[in-house]
Homo-oligomer: A and B are copies of this chain.
Amino acid sequence: MKKKFAPFFEPDSVAIIGASATPGRPGHEAIRNILANDYAGKLYLVNPRGGEILGIPVLQSIAALPKGIDLAIIILPAKDTPQALRECADRGIRHAVLSAGGFAEVDDYGANIQQETIEIIREKNMRVLGPNTSGHTSTPHNFTSTFFPLGKIRRGRVSYIAQTGNFATHTMKYILTGEHFGVSRVIGLGNKIDVDETEALEYLADDSETTAIIMYLESIKRPRKFLEVAREVTRVKPVIVLKSGSTDAGKYAAVAHTAAMAAEDRLIDALLRQAGVVRIWDYTHLILAGKALSMMPLPKGNRVSFLAPSGAMLVVLADLCIRLGLEVPDVQPETVRRLEEISPPFIRMRNPVDIWASASVHGVEFGYGQGMEAVMKDPNIDAVVPIMMLTKDTGIPPYDFIVELAKKYPAKPLFVTFSADKKYMDECKDFVEPRGVPTFPEIEQPFEVLSILYRCTRAMNRSR
């Protein structure tokens, strides 16, 4: 599998068919993305006009390409795509990304072109991503076929499979501008006339650059095979899926979006469960779970400790934990002793931890730092969430103690969230995230994500 897909993810040579000299055009931005990512292989450009684009000479026909290029990125209108694909095959190219839309997702005319394309793939024995895909990305190989202007894509260890062009475009832009984590492989499936979610999953299962897999799906093309593959992968890597189109309104919206009508949702749900896949429901969790898995290990169990500067938050969040299937257990007597030691006299402490008094009297760094360490050490606790109290008047701590604690206890997820001054929330995020500690803007989110990760743990540990 790994070898089979190497031309997609580790191409030594790439041709862009439909290269454009005009900034903003997909055929131009694809080149800029490849250059911005420091792709080390050979890059060929094809456009009948010839000339030069961004310093690279342009060939006037596919026929002018050298033989045996690994991968073609075809950025041409739908109607011109089959012919280009055929010509690529004739130059010995066996792998292609078909970027254009205008196929079966649009109308009957497009459906005909799509059918023609399928026949070429079969006849020429090719492997194709798309059509109607915004491309794919392989940061370990410094490569992307994405035509949406992204610039340098941050490298990470989580991979995404997305049956939507949005992920590799707007969502990736958000991740690059609003977050600090990166990705390993991103696979935009498009209309998946050839490579589908099952094959993509199979590839990522074997991929040493991928430690967790997150998918957005609207349908599953080969459910039986998917189940077979997913059942194995989920024992070694977390697999999280947002499968949409679960309601009638969702399905209705899906028809217009991709050519595939959303499959019957209840069957899919049962299948995902059986496969050990963790299903999620919010688009935002695609991002937040990716962040968590990029920085932290899975929790060994569901026993959470959290520290808040407010009794109200303790109560609301304890309620939330229960709703999410997380436990908020008692900590060990030794931990209680330590928590009381760091608090003003006569304050009784337990889990969840009201850290207000300690942080107010002894400072935020001492109160949170010592309190977090006490619960991170505790064998009754699988994950720790501090709701950091950040306001200038109680003193903004140097944030390194958070990073140090995460390093000292690498087996336990540490998820940070905030209360009070937005300026320092942003500052803390920008400090700790590049150093490996994920933060979450809303206080409910770390618990939502922990619950997702705990379901991954259970899936990985399930009996055969």
Contacts and interface: CB of A to CB of B under 8 A. Distances in A.
Interface of A: 24, 29, 106-107, 148-149, 162-167, 169-171, 173-174, 177-178, 216, 218, 242, 244-254, 256-258, 262, 281-284, 309-323, 327-328, 346, 348, 350, 352, 354, 389, 391, 393, 419-423, 425, 441-444
Given A177-B422, A246-B319, A253-B315, 16 more contacts: A29-B393, A148-B393, A164-B310, A164-B312, A170-B389, A242-B316, A247-B318, A247-B322, A249-B318, A250-B315, A254-B311, A256-B314, A256-B348, A257-B315, A282-B316, A284-B444
A318 B393 contact: no
B252 A354 contact: no
A134 B246 CA distance: 46
18 contacts: A24-B393, A167-B312, A170-B389, A170-B420, A173-B420, A245-B315, A246-B319, A249-B327, A253-B315, A253-B318, A254-B315, A256-B314, A256-B348, A256-B350, A257-B312, A282-B316, A284-B444, A441-B441
A244 B310 CA distance: 13
A258 B170 contact: no
Contact of A319 (B162, B169, B247, B322): B247
B328 A166 contact: no
Each complex incorporates copies of this chain amounting to 2
Contact of A422 (B174, B252, B443): B174
A157 to B, nearest CB: 22
Given A320-B282, A323-B247, A421-B177, A170 B253 contact: no
Contacts of A163: 312
B177 A284 contact: no
Contacts of A444: 282-284
A317 B249 CA distance: 9
Contacts of A309: 166, 170
Given A322-B249, A350-B256, A421-B177, A315 B170 contact: no
Nearest to A29: B393
A248 B322 contact: yes
Contacts of A319: 244-247, 249-250, 281
Q: Select the residue from A249, A310, A311 with max chain B CB neighbours within 10 A.
A: A249
B443 A320 contact: no
A322 B24 contact: no
B322 A283 contact: no
A311 B166 contact: yes
A361 to B, nearest CB: 12
A453 B177 CA distance: 32
A203 B250 CA distance: 44
Contact of A166 (B312, B421, B442): B312
A429 to B, nearest CB: 11
Nearest to A418: B174
Q: Across chains A and B, which 10 residue pairs bring their CB atoms closest together, nearest first?
A: A257-B311, A178-B422, A164-B312, A166-B310, A250-B319, A247-B322, A249-B318, A244-B315, A149-B393, A177-B422
Nearest to A347: B106
Contacts of A346: 106-107
A439 to B, nearest CB: 13
A246 to B, nearest CB: 5
A462 to B, nearest CB: 26
Q: Select the residue from A247, A256, A316, A421 with max chain B CB neighbours within 10 A.
A: A316
B166 A313 contact: yes
A321 B218 CA distance: 17
A95 to B, nearest CB: 25
Contacts of A249: 318-319, 321-322, 327-328
Contacts of A258: 311
A420 B262 CA distance: 26
Contact of A419 (B107, B165, B170, B312): B170
A177 B423 contact: yes
Given A283-B312, A314-B257, A315-B257, A421 B174 contact: yes
